Chain A
């Protein structure tokens, strides 16, 4: 690794940013989190559909639950995609050199996102709209669903490889093909942290979506009770959020330590404490003594939203701190080269 600590100093695009930097940064963080929310729901929905379909082989009521969850993927996936445009636009504008350089270096995998997603979406539609048709052949149906799910699970790894590589210009010369960037040792920890987060959010979604009064429970999921489903969702969120006590620090400790600042540690620790408060309320919801879970739903959603907002901010702090020295070098070079100060 020592051999490749040389970093390139390119020239930046010699045109002003379209908006003040702080506005672009705020836009980036918020729009990214909105995108990730629906990605979580799409991915979580896809994974749970497969799991419940498998459970449904033994108990049919789970197959019905799987169908209801599969139905949510249609809207969530389209919102996830369209909400991805804003952070893509902003990151293109704010971090042009970094983002595009990482894209080029991992291009084979990066561009494969396009055909992979198209296939995943079409397979998901096929899976959903042919549910009845495969009634007598559940295993094949599940296998079809699994194809889409595996693609959905793989794509975040491609994104993570990219946005991780972009903040380490001193490692660009080391990369030979996308896979060599994927095995940077902090990519997998980030991925696991993301998967855990996905599960937690999806659990809450189940509580909110199926627990709401307007959902025709008796008509569509008559073999369950509302309480049972809410408890299921809450348990998912509860256990996975607790597991973040492992996954969260794992990410922090695998980050190249040089740019870890007290600011970052402060932000993510605060977020973790707020998440702990959410865990407390989740525990109160899932206790057997609580016969009607749902009282703390808004509280939990607010606490975890705050957690996510702070984590999103922390993510930016690390990126910003890591890139600051390089950005300064690039700025000086750009100004000199293009005589921008003349």
Chain B
């Protein structure tokens, strides 16, 4: 409403966030939080072995270094920049919500930042002093401790951000207190954190397995030892993934009680919800089988097995993220702001005056006979474009076709007009329509026009803004 709206009409705005955020989450779980502890353990093993068998100790140390090199390159480039990318993207696709959250959670994000700085300092120190400290046991021990600190700080960054993520889903918390601490006492916090931690360890273990098979192809005997260690690590954490995953799965509907009328569980949500169970079980089975194979047949294990484990763990985490995003809808901030960036409190104004009157940037502050189609498009932009496109991903035309004309044919205007005012009741993840009846009318005309003559809805990054005269000076 108060911001010029960026929009991608082919891929949709959500996909931009999904791509950047998922890349970032995979890297921070699998190559940072989960990765460092195992690398440090290998380094420590090398340190211990060196006391009795220098050559053997060196093998562990070299392996740990090579693994760390991979993680260092990827986390400090793709990992770090996609993190910034999430900020940039949130501000583009949902400025009102991120702008609001930052007022309340500034302290949390600032603390997160301090820990990030320390994490960067530690990782620089840990990686860049590896070679020069490895031959002196005293320096080596200090180096290992740095690795330990790095692992802890890495985990801490996750512990903080999960608080914010949980808060966004927590019904009532915003209305009650809007406090930093609520981020950590909300009912989503513990289930999420207790799931993500062992999940990160398993994801990392599958990548380390893959890399270790590569790095030890000339020394099968050593490979056997390394793989046994990795397998042990996977055996250790897989039950935790199962337990925490099941707990999170069990908790979700109960946590959503404030959000979903208990009698209505839509099919779509049910499908997604059950998917996480299947993925969870698949992860457990695949990672256990791979671990057993790695432990007992290190010579014969193929990288494909490790690769499949990597993919399945990534998909499982991805599914949980998708469900988490689902749970939050129709809100972007639970009970305060809908996904369309409009505050719950302001809805009376929109339903009475219409949304166009309140929009800062619109070429149609009032609907006239001459501007109906344009007004319809502008309403689409203000009320729908955060999640929908005209003819791309999650196309609004397709949604109505699936609903009203599944067997084909022209969209019926009267049915569209009938549906829009009650869509929140039928599909809980849809915000209520933030406009009056005249606006529903022109929006319906626009959607019908887009069915026969689809034209991309352009974002301000292409077409600029038109200031509504009532909001200019």
Residues of A within 8 A of B (CB): 6-13, 15-19, 74-75, 77-79, 81-86, 88-89, 92-93, 96-97, 99-101, 103-108, 110-111, 113-114, 117-118, 121-122, 125, 172-178, 329
Contact = CB atoms under 8 A, between A and B. Distances in A.
B461 A178 contact: yes
Contacts of A78: 76, 80, 120, 123-124
Nearest to B463: A176
Given A86-B113, A125-B73, 20 more contacts: A9-B473, A13-B96, A15-B104, A18-B107, A74-B128, A78-B80, A89-B110, A96-B95, A97-B2, A100-B92, A107-B461, A108-B462, A111-B85, A117-B81, A118-B77, A122-B73, A173-B466, A177-B461, A177-B464, A178-B461
A100 B76 CA distance: 26
A4 to B, nearest CB: 9
Given A9-B471, A85-B116, A177-B461, A114 B106 contact: no
Given A93-B106, A103-B88, A173 B467 contact: yes
B106 A10 contact: no
A149 to B, nearest CB: 16
A202 to B, nearest CB: 19
Nearest to A24: B106
Given A6-B472, A97-B2, A84 B92 contact: no
B128 A75 contact: yes
A175 to B, nearest CB: 5
B6 A9 contact: no
Contact of A104 (B6, B76, B85, B178): B6
B44 interface: no
A89 B76 contact: no
A107 B461 CA distance: 5
Contact of A13 (B76, B103, B109, B116): B103
B20 interface: yes
A100 B113 contact: no
A81 B81 contact: yes
Given A10-B3, A101-B4, A81 B128 contact: no
B360 A9 contact: yes
A92 B92 CA distance: 12
Contacts of A104: 3-6, 92, 95, 459-461
25 contacts: A7-B472, A8-B360, A8-B465, A15-B104, A74-B124, A78-B124, A81-B80, A89-B113, A92-B102, A103-B91, A104-B3, A104-B95, A105-B4, A105-B461, A106-B461, A108-B461, A110-B92, A111-B88, A111-B92, A114-B20, A117-B81, A118-B78, A125-B73, A173-B465, A175-B464
Please name the 8 residue pairs, one residue from A and one from B, whose CB atoms are nearest each other, closest first.
A18-B106, A10-B2, A107-B461, A121-B77, A100-B95, A114-B85, A15-B103, A96-B99
A337 to B, nearest CB: 9
Contacts of A15: 100, 103-104, 178
Interface in B441-473: 459-467, 471-473
A10 B1 CA distance: 8
A121 B85 CA distance: 15
Nearest to B120: A82
B128 A19 contact: no
Given A118-B78, A125-B77, A13 B92 contact: no
A9 B471 CA distance: 6
B215 interface: no
B256 to A, nearest CB: 26
B89 interface: yes
Nearest to A326: B473
Nearest to B80: A81
Nearest to B85: A114
Contacts of B4: 101, 104-105, 172
Contacts of A114: 20, 81-82, 84-85, 88
B3 A100 contact: yes
A168 B6 CA distance: 19
Nearest to B105: A18
Interface string B175-186: 000100000000
Nearest to A102: B4
Interface in B99-145: 99-100, 102-104, 106-107, 109-110, 113, 116-117, 120, 123-124, 128
Nearest to A329: B473
A121 B20 contact: no
Contacts of A178: 461
Nearest to A96: B99
**By CB atoms of chain B within 10 A, which of A18, A19, A122 has the most?**
A18
